[in-house]
Amino acid sequence: MSISTVMVIGAGQMGGGIAQVAAAAGRKVYLNDVDLDIVKKRISFIEGLLAKDVSKDRITEAQKAATLANLIPTNDIAMAADADLVIEAVIENMDLKSKIFTQLDEVTKPSCILASNTSSLPITEIAAVTKRPEQVIGMHFMNPVPVMKLVEVIRGLATSDETLKAIFDESVAYGKTPVEVRDVPGFVSNRLLMPMINEAIFCVYEGVATVEDADTVMKLGMNWPMGPLTLADFIGLDTCLYIMEVLYDGYADSKYRPCPLLRQYVKAGWLGKKSGRGFYTYA
Query: Which candidate in 116, 117, 190, 198 is catalytic?
Result: 190
> Is 223 marked active-site?
no
Query: Which candidate in 88, 152, 170, 171 is catalytic?
Result: 152
Report which residue's Cβ sits closest to ligand NAD: 12
Is residue 20 near ligand NAD by the rule CB under 6 A? no
Shortest approach of ligand NAD to residue 64 CB, angstroms?
23
Give the one residue of 3, 11, 50, 154 binding ligand NAD; rule: CB under 6 A: 11
The DSSP bridge pattern shows strands 136-141 and 150-155 to be antiparallel
Is residue 102 near ligand NAD by the rule CB under 6 A? no
Residue 172 in contact with residue 139, Cβ under 8 Å?
Answer: no
Would you say 28 or 40 has its CB closer to ligand NAD?
40
Give the one residue of 8, 46, 90, 129 binding ligand NAD; rule: CB under 6 A: 90
> Is 70 marked active-site?
no
> Is 111 marked active-site?
no
CA 162 – CA 171 distance, rounded (Å): 14
Q: Which residue ranges make up the site for ligand NAD (CB under 6 A)?
A: 9-15, 32-34, 38, 89-92, 96, 100, 117-119, 140, 143, 235
